[in-house]
Amino acid sequence: MRRSVRTVAVAALLAALMLMGTVPATAKQFTIGATIWNMSVPFYANFIKGLNDGAAKYGFKLLLRDGQGDPNTQVAVVRQFIVEKVDMIVIVPGDAQAVVPVIRQANAAGIPVIAANNKVGEGAEVVTFVGADDYYFGKQQGKLLVEAIGDSGKVALIMGQLGTSAQILRKKGLDDYLKDYPNIKIVTSVSDDWDSAKALANTQDILSRYPKGQLDAIVCQGPEAVPGAKYSKQAGRTEIRWVLGDYPKDVRDAVKDGTVYGTVNQDPYPQAVEALHMASLYLKGEKSKIPAPNYFLELPLITIKNVDDYPPAW
């Protein structure tokens, strides 16, 4: 009986203290709705790991959903996040402009949005963008290209999915860099949708259309052209220098064995972790600490000269 009376007394005291604010209530767990435009793209495996690790680090409940490579599907995913009243949305958009109307709907619903890896188009409000400066990425590819072939030559360009901010900005950066090298000509541009099978098919088509003596280099905006670079080497087209983007293990190996001249090192893991770091700052009321409108991470160049100094990004 004494024990029961004592228990009731302690419970009553704790309740009174909580009402007075002496004992804090449990902090709210924020929910983050995250969507990646196509989770089957190998690049995003490490990005997904970063999201999961970041959610654990900052105490978020994470709802991760796939846009399945279709703008309409990704728009529907964001609409569902709005219905579910998540606390924040982190989006890796496929089509930069296609998601603008639904992000404006999130804005109207009072749900803040952070863009990561790919930018959102004009007309929608985002807290910040976390990822690579893709315009600078393209300029870095231009720098590698000039190192590889000198100040003149004919080049084929294999782009990623058309309409993504990475594709658009990397091309603009490359084009602007090459304005200082008028004797370097991009003779053909094609898209591989960030898909290695399509990159290989593009390579085979390019080599058939441009025999020896008619092409000096192939630039691919992403890492998926490693099979194409190996194919061109096996076909005896060793005169072609390859410049890629990103730095998974197969690209690192191709740089080490001379199949690829160089690449731009973009690591997806810290992009995801830092996106959730920015979300944490925002939701804790520390908005002034968030770099805006962009939080760009480093983009070192990798060639045979320094490849041993950098482990693969994934």
For residue range 165-188, list pLDDT tens digits in order.
889 999 999 999 999 999 999 999
Please give the Cα distance from 37 to 4 (Å, whole number).
58
Q: Output the CATH code of domain 31-132+268-297.
A: 3.40.50.2300
CATH class, 134-265 region: alpha beta
pLDDT value for 52: 98
Out of 11-25, 235-249, 260-274, which region has the weakest mean confidence (pLDDT)? 11-25
* Entry pTM: 0.77
Chain region(s) in the chain for CATH 3.40.50.2300: 31-132+268-297, 134-265
> Is pLDDT at 255 greater than 70 in this prediction?
yes
The amino acid occupying position 283 is L
pLDDT value for 12: 52
Task: Summarize pLDDT for 68-119 with one digit per residue, the tens.
Answer: 999 999 999 999 999 999 999 999 999 989 999 999 999 999 999 999 999 9
Instruction: Determine what percent of the chain is predicted with pLDDT higher than 90.
Output: 86
